[in-house]
Every structure is written in C-alpha cells, then in structure tokens.
Amino acid sequence: MIEIKHVTKIYGGTTKAVDDIDITLPTGEIIGFIGPNGAGKTTTIKMITGVLAPDEGEILINGKNIVKEPLEAKREFGLVPDNADIFLRLKGIEYLNFIADIYQVDGAVRKKRIEQLSKTFEMESALQDKILSYSHGMRQKIVIMGVLITDPNVWILDEPLTGLDPQSAYSLKEMMREHASRGNTVFFSTHVLEVAERLCDKVAIINKGKIIYFGTLEDLKAAHSELNSLEDIFLEVISHA
C-alpha cells in the first residue's frame, strides 16, 4: 500500500508540479497513473521513491515513511524508471548479481529467478554481453529483471511498456496481474489509454499537479456515458481541470 498524504512539490519556488495529492494506492490492485505531458507523474514517482522530498505532506510505503525511514521504506518497493541507461559497462549477469547482492537474494533462489526471468524476457543469450551493447528494449528488460529478482512487495513502474517487444510487453503485463493478485501493489504510469483500460483495476488521472479522478474506469465511463471512447472522456476530464 502507498499512502500519499497531502503532498505538494514546488520547483524553484514557482512551479507547482504536484499540488496537494492525497490518495491511497491499495494492495491487490493494479493502479494506472495517467496524465498529459508535464502533468506531474514523474515528480510524484520521484517523491514516492525518495529521489525528491515533498515540500509538504508525507508518503508512506507499507506504513514506512520514505523521508523519515528511507532504508525501511526502500526495502518495500522496486522501481523501474523511465530511463534505463544504467551500469552500461557491466554485463547483464553482473548487473543482476550486483542487485541480488545488495538485496541479499541468496544462491538457489537467485539462480532460479535469473533462469526464469531471462527465459521469460528471452535474455538468456544476452546475459554475458555488456549492457552498453543492448538495444533500448533490452536495457528496459534488464532493469525490469533487476527489480523482479528482489521480489519487492510494491512495484512502481514509469512507462514500463515503452520500447518492449510485444512478447515481453505481454509477459510483463501478465506478471503485473499475477503480482497484484497475490495481494501486492502495482503502480505504473502510462500515456497509452488502451493499456490502462485493459490492465488497471483503478486509474489516477493527474493534470497540472492535481488528481482529477481516482477510481475504476467503469465508473469513469458510466459518469460520461454520452462520450464514445476513453480518449474522449480523458480529454473532457482534463479540459475542465
């Protein structure tokens, strides 16, 4: 569970990137985070994950305060950032072992997870190559594998499907569903409304730093039954914000 309590972030004293967000992301559900460019999605994710501190409010991850108890809170989640250019000089397998070392994932469990994940994402033959030589999609996959190897309770993913081939995107979506159905929290941002429609139990729509809708897409559609598509509803909702 992620509790975002009256959180505000102001850049440079003037730009209110996040404006009094107050929502709780429950366990057992996939929550989509959608909004136009510059709406405040990345800023919110950076605050949830402790990269940026809020100017006001607080954020708890499974009850742990990300500012006051950063180590405890960080153990609760795994983050797939939108930019996967990390540790380029390491081989894929070295990166996975490095992450497994940090999170103390031991021998047999580590071996099994690496085998399963590299099979799922068709990365077996690439693990001995340096990440530098990987395509964008392969870099995305190795970051996702690095998160999944630690088996965190809460998954936070910033545009995770961008750049993945259809098979890997399908596998990741299945894994997100399975993870949520085991009673965990999955929170991901997307620009693609069809993905949100197919995958999410609930959506949080953000515009100009404010949450303008939080709930199921069914309820949102029912409230706008005069409109035909989710895209039309989305444009209507943000035009009034």
Ligand X SMILES: Nc1ncnc2c1ncn2[C@@H]1O[C@H](COP(=O)(O)OP(=O)(O)OP(=O)(O)O)[C@@H](O)[C@H]1O
Q: Which residues here bind ligand X, judged by CB under 6 A?
A: 11-12, 15, 17, 35, 37-43
Do 2 and 154 touch, CB atoms closer than 8 A? yes
In the bound state with ligand X, the residue whose beta carbon lies nearer, of 53 and 132, is 53
**What sign has the CA pseudo-torsion 67, 82, 75, 64?**
positive
DSSP E strand stretches across the chain: 2-11, 15-25, 29-34, 56-61, 64-65, 77-80, 154-158, 185-189, 202-207, 210-215
30/47 with CB nearer ligand X: 47
Q: By C-beta, is 51 or 223 nearer to ligand X?
A: 51
Chain centroid to CA 46: how far?
11
Cβ-contact 203, 217 below 8 angstroms: yes
Q: What are phi and psi of 169, to 5 degrees?
A: -65, -45
Between 11 and 170, name the residue whose CB sits nearer to ligand X: 11
